[in-house]
Amino acid sequence: MGKYSDDSLALHTDLYQINMSEAYWADGMHERKAVFELFFRKLPFGNGFAVFAGLERILDYLKGFRFTDSDLAYLKNEVGYEDDFLAYLKTVRFTGDVYSVKEGELVFQNEPLIRVEAPLVEAQLIETALLNIVNYQTLIATKASRIKQIVQDERVMEFGTRRAQEMDAAIWGTRAAYIGGLEATSNVRAGKKFGIPVAGTHAHSLVQAYKNEYEAFHAYAKRHRDCVFLVDTYDTLKSGVPIAIQVAKELGDKINFLGIRLDSGDIAFLSKEARKMLDAAGFTETEIVVSNDLDEYTILNLKAQGARVDSWGIGTKLITAYDQPALGAVYKIVAIENEHGEMEDTIKISGNAEKVTTPGLKNVYRIIDRENGKSEGDYITMQDEDPASEDHLKMFHPIHTFVSKFVSNFDAVNIHQQVIKKGEVIYENPPLPEIQKYAYSNLGLLWEEYKRSLNPEEYPVDLSQKCWDNKMRNIQEVKEAITELKG
């Protein structure tokens, strides 16, 4: 590992975060309270919602945040920071407050998923890791949810470790995929670490090692009562399926002939033919597992062709988020304490209206119609507003403000909860199967038009009038300041 022996996560940040921290510290700004929000601007995969994941790792990361001696030695020797600043860094822990949506929550564009309220340096140093975690895990949970929505009742297994972008991605991606709705993983370490059910068949190498399917299947069956034989090594219909049936008949009750796996060729055709062969041999309960570069699009197409599949193994295209490899979430400062101890808004202006940040301390409410239990949209308010006390709300699009509606007879549910208070983790993440169930049950809140995988309607994420007015005032103030400068 080189001369700096440990691998603390405090340095899992961009150099510029430490450089900015040095400037804040040298200027006496470092303890000022700052508020940052983490959000994404565009839903991934053209989906109508995203499934939030990443909180578990974030809590662990923040709990253990500290620069170790070897981190400090590295920063001194190799990067050149001075001793006084390093002595300060040695004392830095995460002491702030964090508010987050739960894992498995359905989340949308331009709404804060996490709000960090902490001394400026602390909030700044953790940006990179928080984004790194949420960007990946939320992306994979969302992709998994898309796949599961197309698959519906059949079983889906995560097979992607060998193709993942290195080991961390395989492990945390598998966990996120499980949150999104997958039933099992082939990654045994993820099974041990998170309690995700493990499952699997065997590879072509088993058959190739024995040079024929008959011996390979028998060898496997000698030590495994539950058997799923891979039947496409030589010729699926002429050799693989008939030999699997022959071996299963020979072994009778000694094995559970659970299934066969197809991994190449025309899956629709081969699965239908294999189904006929298995049924004709009396193995009507023996299932057909398929794999080979599958995603929600191929699965939908295969279903349309009447493929007879009971179980889907998904690797590359899920774990690498193949069709959209980044979520693009950002972490933006929205308020900072001034020299008098008062919180002041901050704003980032952009020529692109969608990129102008929404300043100030805010809350996000999910507005749920009491009559039908469906969500009308999300409603971002200033922190001192209480939409639950209103009889009706005007919800309007934050850019196209003429698109609006009035909502009454609703529940306003604050989607955030405090997970860290003064540096202490105060939230216990539920067991993983409960998080998965939560994600699934949340889908019931959404009208079908937001859930379809192709061209869904845009779910409303609106600003309260007060929040919108505040944003406009901030924009105006910046413009005036610039005009004064020019003048």
Ligand X SMILES: O=P(O)(O)OC[C@H]1O[C@H](OP(=O)(O)OP(=O)(O)O)[C@H](O)[C@@H]1O
Ligand Y SMILES: Nc1ncnc2c1ncn2[C@@H]1O[C@H](COP(=O)(O)OP(=O)(O)OP(=O)(O)O)[C@@H](O)[C@H]1O
Q: Which residues of the shown chain bind ligand Y in the complex (CB under 6 A)?
A: 264-268, 292-294, 298, 301-302, 305
| Residue spans of beta strands (DSSP E) within 72-133 | 97-100, 106-107, 114-119
* 294 near ligand X (CB under 6 A): yes
Q: Of ligand NIO, ligand X, ligand Y, none, which one does residue 201 interact with (CB within 5 to 8 Å by kind)? A: ligand NIO
| Residue spans of beta strands (DSSP E) within 178-308 | 184-185, 226-230, 256-262, 287-290
Are residues 161 and 174 in contact, defined by beta-carbon separation less than 8 angstroms? yes
* 145 near ligand NIO (CB under 6 A): no
Tell me how far, at minimum, the Cβ of 234 lies from ligand Y, in Å.
Answer: 11
Token look-up 């067991």 returns 431
Restricted to residues 301-320, the positions that interact with ligand NIO (CB under 6 A) are 313, 315
Residue nearest to ligand Y as judged by C-beta position: 264
Residue 249 neighbours by CB under 8 Å, 6+ apart: 281
Helix (H, G, I), strand (E, B) or coil at 330: strand
Are residues 291 and 314 in contact, defined by beta-carbon separation less than 8 angstroms? yes
Q: How many residues bind ligand NIO (CB under 6 A)?
A: 8
Helix (H, G, I), strand (E, B) or coil at 475: helix
Q: Which is nearer to ligand NIO, 149 or 201 (CB)?
A: 201
Q: Of ligand Y, ligand X, ligand NIO, none, which one does residue 186 interact with (CB within 5 to 8 Å by kind)? A: ligand NIO
* 113 near ligand X (CB under 6 A): no
* 292 near ligand X (CB under 6 A): yes
Tell me how far, at minimum, the Cβ of 264 lies from ligand Y, in Å.
Answer: 3
Q: Of ligand Y, ligand X, ligand NIO, none, which one does residue 265 interact with (CB within 5 to 8 Å by kind)? A: ligand Y
Q: How far apart are the first and last CA of the chain?
A: 58
Are residues 379 and 462 in contact, defined by beta-carbon separation less than 8 angstroms? yes
Which region, judged by CB under 6 A, interacts with ligand X, from 51-59, 130-138, 310-318, 416-424? Answer: 310-318
Cross-strand pairs, 18:
none
What distance in Å separates the CA atoms of residue 112 and residue 361, rounded to the nearest whole number? 11
Q: Which is nearer to ligand Y, 271 or 286 (CB)?
A: 271
Token look-up 């929205």 returns 334
**Token pair for residue 117?**
């309220």
When binding is defined by CB under 6 A, the residue of 71, 103, 111, 263 that contacts ligand X is 263
Q: Which is nearer to ligand X, 293 or 424 (CB)?
A: 293
Which residues make up the interface to ligand NIO (CB under 6 A)?
159, 186, 200-201, 261, 291, 313, 315
Which residues make up the interface to ligand X (CB under 6 A)?
159, 162-163, 203-205, 263, 291-294, 313-317
